[in-house]
Amino acid sequence: MTTVALKPATMAQALGRAMRDAMAADPSVHVMGEDVGTLGGVFRVTDGLAKEFGEDRCTDTPLAEAGILGTAVGMAMYGLRPVVEMQFDAFAYPAFEQLISHVARMRNRTRGAMPLPITIRVPYGGGIGGVEHHSDSSEAYYMATPGLHVVTPATVADAYGLLRASIASDDPVVFLEPKRLYWSKDSWNPDEPPAVEPIGRAVVRRSGRSATLITYGPSVPVCLEAAEAARAEGWDLEVVDLRSLVPFDDETVSASVRRTGRAVVVHESGSFGGPGGEIAARVTERCFHHLEAPVLRVAGFDIPYPPPMLERHHLPGVDRILDAVGRLQWEADS
Amino acid sequence: MTVMEQRGAYRPTPPPAWQPRTDPAPLLPDALPYRVLGTEAAAQVDPGLLRRLYAELVRGRRYNTQATALTKQGRLAVYPSSTGQEACEVAAALVLEDRDWLFPSYRDTLAAVARGLDPVQALTLLRGDWHTGYDPREHRIAPLCTPLATQLPHAVGLAHAARLKGDDVVALALVGDGGTSEGDFHEALNFAAVWQAPVVFLVQNNGFAISVPLAKQTAAPSLAHKAVGYGMPGRLVDGNDAAAVHQVLSEAIAHARAGGGPTLVEAVTYRIEAHTNADDATRYRGDAEVETWRGHDPIALLEHELTERGLLDDETIRTAREDAETMAADLRERMNQDPVLDPMDLFAHVYAQPTTQLLEQETQLRAELDAEDAAADGHAGHHGPEGAGR
């Protein structure tokens, strides 16, 4: 067995590498957005793409999100595969009409004649001390729109694999990038990027018997940390990383909850009308007779995203997750 | 003192680096709408083109009256008539090459039909059997767009993509006067100008956005004036003068095709009918105004020109009318047949591969339909058309 020289890579680098490899493999892939060219993106995710592929392939657009996504629709209609960047979660809102009225429905309204293979990259979520409008978790809006795929990686390898899969998808994908994981590192072989598998599959990040933490994106490392801390309490927690909110992997989630009998959904976005309500309902419908306790939610508060000096009180942390786990009526299990 | 003269009063002296990009004067539209019919310019127009425009206008008017009649018979859910605006619709279709793209809004069914689309396919959105009844790629006609102005950035993107691929393709996007107030109008024009995309924007200014008149829509001297702020030429044209619209659009498209970038064309016209058959236009405008515009009818204008110059004989008129009647009769007959719908189509085109959740819902609907069939078998009727493919 040959020794492979593993190198550390950040999630931001993995995302950039995914776009680079996709552009090299397919001349129809175009990256566009505000600041993605010369600057390489405000998070440097698109660093080097304009230099390598030219400004026609990696384009600094005017500052206008509806225009960015609207022109991407036309480009996709002509056979290109646009990868658009929305720079920050709350900056995407001006583009919602294009997203909901056109991007999500074009395949459907044309009876399959005109699919739109557009990837919409949205850096999302808090934890980086961003000022107002730079930390929203808007996944519930995207999940509620039929016709969109909604994907969010939690690891460096998934950032690469899921973005490659999203760009290759013939359907529009809202690709949510957890901002606070941009600088998280993992080792990989730069000559052999991680595997690309179809989007829509959840993965068990940590096996356990006591309860399942169902989570995604920025909350995955927090749940893994909580699971380690829970060992001191004698709790053996399983952590399921959804990776894809749409399509939703009922199979993996249900199988885990049936094994453990207890579940907590963890995410940053608000609880009311948030993803956790949908997930808890689906788990309850499928696993009711296996459940030893109600499915609980640990989420952000139902407030506009707080100012950065207060965000640590808003974001679900290890303690809040452990509190919820403690409310799962453990005594009934012994 | 004009606004332009006042500008120096509040704008600081620019630093040396400041350089105005272009002289805006060449971009400004004429003060009055450009006209061809009834002027000396008409003599320069190919008589064959005038006769073709005439035949298409007659056909277009008949299409509008037939579609409106179908709403009264309950065969169309709704129809936004373009009666009075046929010159814009027909010119938009005729100036494009086959490889070019048309981006219509919901009132532009006639432009799609004049481009060669099957009238029944063009009406599926308005009949309600499917949102888009044709393959956009086959006809190079984007889906009829109901949200206002959102099709404009699509036209820009497509034209831009075509140029990136080295294709000699121009996109023509249609929008109404109300649509020019939307943010997507601004973003589309700005992107088009910055990218020098080969796209032409045609604003059909028909006076009203449902009930709101132009004076409450904009404070600009004309909608064509909006072009100058984006750095593209604006042209103002009489939208009831088919020869003028055709000429101005042809020039704009040639300009775009040659790499000159986008143009904003405002065609001043009038919506003779209400917004749709569901609208009561008497609440917001008077008969006298409508009658004035009837006196500036696009068909009558062209007919007058052709007759004056001896280019129109009874035979040509009769042929045009007979062709229009044939089209209307065919449309009437085909629209009077119930469309054959497959309920399972609801799930067929949401994603390339249906999600497991959709597959479950599909199974549910199939079971419901089977139960309906089973119940109906006990009676004379049948819940759906034969051969619906499920």
Q: What is the dihedral of CA A18, A21, A27, A31, to 10 degrees?
A: 30
Band (B330; pLDDT cuts 50, 70, 90)? very high
- Is residue A290's pLDDT more than 80? yes
Residue B87 · residue B50 · CB < 8 Å: no
Strand order in the sheet with A211-215: A203-206, A237-241, A211-215, A263-270, A296-300
* Mean pLDDT value across residues B19-34: 81
Residue B60 has pLDDT above 50, yes or no: yes
pLDDT, average across residues A169-183: 98
Give pLDDT, residue B21.
65
CB neighbour list of residue A31: distance below 8 Å, 6 or more residues apart: A19, A23, A46, A49, A53, A57, A58, A59, A82, A83, A84, A85
**Tens of pLDDT along B171-185?**
999 999 999 999 999
Cα distance between residue B175 and residue B200, in whole Å: 11
- The DSSP code for A99 is I
pLDDT 10s digits, A227-259: 999 999 999 999 999 999 999 999 999 999 999
Rounded to an integer, the average pLDDT of B366-386 is 77
Q: How far is B146 from chain A (nearest CA, A)?
A: 9
- Whether residues B143 and A110 touch (CB distance < 8 A) is answered with yes
Q: Helix crossing, A11-25 with A156-168: angle to 10°?
A: 30
Does residue A73 surpass a pLDDT of 50? yes
With contact defined as beta carbons under 8 Å apart, do B184 and B149 qualify? yes
The predicted pLDDT at position A330 comes to: 64
Average the pLDDT over A182-202 and give the result.
91
pLDDT digits (tens, 9 = 90+) for B289-304: 999 999 999 999 999 9
- The pLDDT of residue B10 is 60
The token duo for B164 is 């990136």
Note whether A22 and A46 are within 8 A (CB): no
Q: Percentage of chain A surpassing pLDDT 90?
A: 93
Comparing A8-17, A172-181, A211-220, B11-20, which segment has the lowest mean pLDDT?
B11-20
pLDDT the model gives residue B377: 86
Tell me what the pLDDT averaged over chain B comes to.
Answer: 92
Which pTM does this prediction carry? 0.94
Mean pLDDT (whole number) for B126-133: 94
pLDDT given at position B387: 42
- Tell me the per-residue pLDDT of B97-113, one tens digit each, with 9 for 90 and over: 999 999 999 999 999 99
pLDDT confidence bin for A190, thresholds 50/70/90: confident
Query: Are the CB atoms for A32 and A59 separated by under 8 Å?
Result: yes
- The whole-number pLDDT of residue B24 equals 72
Looking at residue B380, what is its pLDDT?
53
Give the pLDDT confidence of A132-146 residue by residue, as tens digits.
999 999 999 999 999
Inter-chain contact A72–B157, Cβ cutoff 8 Å?
yes
For residues A265 and B387, which has the higher predicted lDDT (pLDDT)?
A265
Question: Are A246 and A115 in contact, with CB atoms under 8 Å apart?
Answer: no
With tokens 């380690």, the residue in question is A228
- Mutate: best of A78, A83, A244, partner B, most B CBs <10 A: A78
**Cβ separation of B132 and A146 shorter than 8 Å?**
no
Q: What is the pLDDT of residue B62?
A: 98
Cβ pair B75, B336 in contact under 8 A: yes
Q: For residues A173 and A103, what is the distance between their CA atoms, to the nearest angstrom?
A: 10
Both tokens of residue A304?
């506009």
Please report the residues numbered 182 through 221 in chain B whose beta carbons come closer than 8 angstroms to any beta carbon of chain A: 183-184, 187-188, 190-191, 194
Residue B210 or residue B388, greater confidence? B210
What is the per-residue pLDDT for A192? 87
Query: Measured between CB atoms, does B258 come within 8 Å of chain A?
Result: no
Distances (CA, A) of B390 to A128, B340, B366, B382, B384: 53, 12, 8, 14, 11
**Alpha helices, H only, B115-268:** 119-122, 124-127, 136-139, 151-164, 183-195, 226-230, 242-257
Question: Each residue of B211-254: pLDDT tens digit?
Answer: 999 999 999 999 999 999 999 999 999 999 999 999 999 999 99
Question: Could you tell me the pLDDT band of residue B378, with boundaries at 50, 70 and 90?
Answer: confident
The pLDDT of residue A104 is 98
Looking from the CA of A293 toward its CB, the CA atoms found within 13 Å total: 21
Q: Could you tell me the pLDDT band of residue B22, with boundaries at 50, 70 and 90?
A: low
B357/A169 touch (CB, cutoff 8 Å), yes or no: no
A-B Cβ pairs (cutoff 8 Å, strict): 140
Q: What is the pLDDT of residues B159-211, one digit of tens each?
A: 999 999 999 999 999 999 999 999 999 999 999 999 999 999 999 999 999 99
Contact A75 B135 (CB under 8 A): no
Q: Which of A73, A113, A114 sits opposite B153 (nearest CB)?
A: A73
CA distance linking residue A91 with residue A103, whole number of Å = 17
Are B153 and A67 within 8 A, CB to CB? yes
- Mind telling me how many Å the CA of B109 is from chain A's nearest CA? 16
Q: State the pLDDT at residue A295.
A: 98
B130 touches chain A (CB under 8 A): yes
Position B384 pLDDT exceeds 70:
no
Three-class DSSP category at A120? strand
Intra-chain end-to-end CA distance of chain A, in Å: 47
Interface residue of B191, B341, B361 to substitute, partner A, most A CBs within 10 Å: B191
